[in-house]
Amino acid sequence: MAKDFSYRGKTLEELKAMDIREFAKLVKSRNRRAILRQTNEISSFINKCEELKKKNKQIKTHSRNLVIVPAMID
């Protein structure tokens, strides 16, 4: 029996449906601050990943300080 993933009372599907700024309200202060400062960088990375997934290419990044948001999870 697989355990259902939840974060702060929200299921993975609910988290994926959230906007980046809505998700930032759920995380702790350090990550919230990073997400709010990097919103444009995160959204452009997500768009880049979606394009590469459609082309079945490998996703590469050198942004090691990028906070993982639910939209990035496959």
Model confidence over 26-62: pLDDT tens digits?
999 999 999 999 999 999 999 998 998 899 998 888 8
Looking at residue 51, its pLDDT comes to 92
CA atoms of 61 and 16, how far apart (whole Å)? 21
Mean pLDDT of all residues belonging to the chain: 89
The fraction of the chain above a pLDDT of 90, given in percent, is 57
pTM of this prediction?
0.77
Instruction: Note the pLDDT of residue 32.
Output: 95
pLDDT value of position 47: 92
Tokens 């906007």 belong to 19
Using the structure block, give the residue that is written with the tokens 């355990």.
3
